[in-house]
Chain A
Amino acid sequence: MKIDVNHITMIYPSGKKALQDVSVHAKSPSFIGILGPNGAGKTTLMKLLIAGLLPTKGEILLDDKPLPAQEQYLKSQLGYLPQSFGLYEELTVWQFLDYMAALKSIKGKAAIEEVLEQTSMTGLKRTRIRNLSGGQRQRVGIAQALLGSPQLVILDEPTVGLDPEERVKFRNIFSEMAQDKIVLLSTHIVEDVQAVCSRVLVIHGGQLLFDGLPAALIAQTEKHVGVYLTQPDAPVPEGCQLVSKIHTAQGIRCRIVAERLPACAQTVEPTLEDAYLYCIHAFGRTGKGDFAHETVS
């Protein structure tokens, strides 16, 4: 499977421009993490990809054919977890998955048993959905997305509401799926992407700021991350973005990203989180992404 997003612009009827001239190309296998702050346009991009929205400008190609013509094919290959969704409260977990399987024309019980197993919901399969916890509901959402192992898996903030142990488990499930499929997941938890994704997109203010390997994002942040010791209440130097603040025996240790580090700061190795923040920070300063787009095949 192959997806080409060509110069997409999305303006909502309210007049809000949610995406501007975004292009992304992907083919299986790939595991793409989409990072971006709240309101960046991640959900909008995903809704465009599942034909839930029509772009204002630009086009999306699925296997070289325009998406609207491929809608049935897309949906037959799609596993989608929306950011917010509802479930039929009166059904049990098993019944709901059985219903979703019917909508996806998946026959037999094996597929349902398999996703129940994967999402550790086997023990809860006879529980009514109204009696589930928030994290368990999220797992039902993930389970229905994995039904029938679809070729294209789009997950909008899948790890929201999951405990740390489950998060790690799901990360591994997703990365296993990505061996032969396209898996796209959005998050603002950098850790989720760092651990498993082979490719990362950074979106901010509707623009694609970076598209490439996580290592490449980190490499571009080299020499822009520093730490220094300071007193409580001391302001962050101008032009710097605070990453973390840790109380130590010597004082407060601040970690910052900046285009030009202040003299007091000592340069350190960047992490993906630093790189992401630097990317967003650089955008805020210049109003455009000054990061090179790397093409990934």
Chain B
Amino acid sequence: MSKIFYYELKRMLWNRSFWGLLAVNGLFAWFVLSLDIIQGIAYTAPFSVWSWCTYVGKTLPPAMAAVLLLLSSYYGRRQRQVEALTLAAPVTAARQMLLRTAAAGVCFLLIFLVTAGLAAYFYTALFHFTGFAAFLLPALLLALPCFLFLAGLGQLLAGLHRSLLYLLTAVSFVLGYCGPKTAFDLFGAGYFSSRPLALPVGADGEPAFALTASFCAARLLYLAAGALCLYLTAVLLTRKARRA
């Protein structure tokens, strides 16, 4: 199993487009930091958790677009031709799909580490700020459900028709920057940039950071929906394997 994962990952990382996407993501993140976050989000400090979460929310859509693009190559004509060989092997189509989702997860993590690394540099260099511990949990709560949900839904749609995956990428972009500002905001930029405005200002001049129950519940929902989508994709691919 680990060998299959290794090759899936190797093929993704090898792909010239991955490094291109990574560079674009880094560049975009730097713009967000230096044009947007530097001013502080919703009258909080640029290094407040609110600002950090908004930063994560704003960099997630292009990161997910990169992941969906990497995954889309598994639903094309070339892949179907290789599947003439791979689907005759004992490892099921469903398991192969899960392994490549995991490989895409590693690519996503790499992109995330680059954007987080840029932010860490930005915060230390400009503000001498190093209190990153409080950043970890909210970032995880944003990134993980977002990845699972979109990777699951994306592959389910791609299994039906590849063009639906591109449509989802476009829709997720729109939702990322002009979506609802509620707890259900998948990427979180809208939610975390508007929420502090509704909260009382604390002793340090800005609203204290807190994750609401509805926000956490929404994350759980996205995780569950993502898992369900992956399951349905597995069923779909198993049925398709019989018509190879």
On A, residues with C-beta under 8 Å from B are 47, 50-54, 72, 75-76, 78, 80, 82, 84-88, 90-91, 95, 98-100, 102-105, 141, 144
Whether A104 lies near B11 (C-beta < 8 A) is no
Of A76, A86, A141, which one neighbours B90 at CB under 8 angstroms? Answer: A76
Given contacts A52-B241, A52-B242, A102-B3, contact A82 B91 (CB under 8 A): no
**6 A-B pairs whose Cβ atoms sit less than 8 Å apart in the complex:** A75-B88, A82-B85, A86-B84, A88-B82, A91-B7, A91-B11
Interface residue B212 (Cβ < 8 Å from any Cβ of A): no
Contact indicator B14/A52 (Cβ below 8 Å): no
Contact, CB under 8 Å: B3 / A98: yes
What's the Cα separation between A75 and B4 when bound, in Å? 17
Q: A54 to B86, alpha carbons, bound, how many Å?
A: 18
- What 0/1 pattern do residues 74 to 97 of B give for CB contact below 8 A with A? 000011111011111111000010
Given A54-B242, A72-B90, A91-B11, 12 more pairs with CB closer than 8 A: A47-B244, A52-B241, A82-B84, A85-B81, A86-B78, A86-B82, A88-B11, A91-B7, A98-B3, A98-B7, A99-B4, A141-B85
Write out, one digit per residue, whether chain B residues 87-111 have a CB within 8 A of any chain A CB (1) or not (0): 1111100001000000000000000
How distant is the Cα of A99 from the Cα of B7 in the complex, in angstroms?
A: 7
Distance (whole angstroms) from the CB of B102 to the closest CB of chain A: 15
- Given the known interface contacts A52-B241, A88-B11, the answer about A103 and B89 at a Cβ–Cβ threshold of 8 Å is yes
B244/A52 in contact, CB under 8 A: yes
Q: Is the CB of A86 within 8 A of B81?
A: yes
Quick check: B84 and A85 within 8 Å, CB to CB? yes
Q: Min CB distance, A126 to chain B, in Å?
A: 15
Contact: B85 with A85, CB < 8 Å?
yes
B14–A90 touching, CB < 8 Å: yes
Whether A100 and B85, one on each chain, are in contact in the complex, defined by CB atoms closer than 8 angstroms, is yes
Q: Would you give the shortest CB distance from B163 to chain A, in whole angstroms?
A: 21
Q: Are B82 and A85 closer than 8 Å at their CB atoms?
A: yes
The 4 closest A-B pairs by CB, nearest first: A86-B81, A102-B3, A103-B89, A80-B88
Q: Which residues from chain A contact B4 at a C-beta distance below 8 Å? A: 99, 102-103
A292 to B243, CA, bound (A): 33
Among A47, A84, A102, residue most surrounded by chain B Cβ atoms (within 10 Å): A102
Q: Which residues of B contact A72 (CB under 8 A)?
A: 90
Q: How far is the CA of A5 from the CA of B32 in the complex (A)?
A: 64
| Nearest A residue to B91, CB-CB | A103
By a CB distance below 8 angstroms, the chain A residues around B91 are 102-105
Taking the closest CB of chain B, its distance from the CB of A18, in whole angstroms, is 13
List residues of chain B with CB within 8 A of the CB of A144: 85
Return chain A residues, CB-CB under 8 Å to B3.
98-99, 102
Residues on B with beta carbons closer than 8 Å to the beta carbon of A75? 88-90
If the complex has contacts A53-B242, A90-B11, A98-B3, are A104 and B89 also in contact, measured as CB distance less than 8 A? yes
Complex Cα distance A54/B14, Å?
37
What CA separation (Å) do A102 and B78 show in the bound complex?
A: 20
Q: Closest chain B residue to A83 by CB distance?
A: B84
Task: Name B92's closest neighbour in chain A (CB-CB).
Answer: A72
Closest residue of B by beta carbon distance from A12: B243
Rounded to whole angstroms, the CA-CA distance of A103 and B91 in the bound complex is 6
Which residues of A lie under 8 Å from residue B82 when comparing CB positions? 85-88
In the complex, which of the residues B7, B78, B81, B243 contacts A95, with contact meaning CB atoms closer than 8 Å? B7
Contacts of B78 in A (CB 8 A): 86
Q: Which residues of B contact A52 (CB under 8 A)?
A: 87-88, 241-244
Measured between beta carbons, the chain A residues less than 8 angstroms from B90 are: 72, 75-76, 103-105
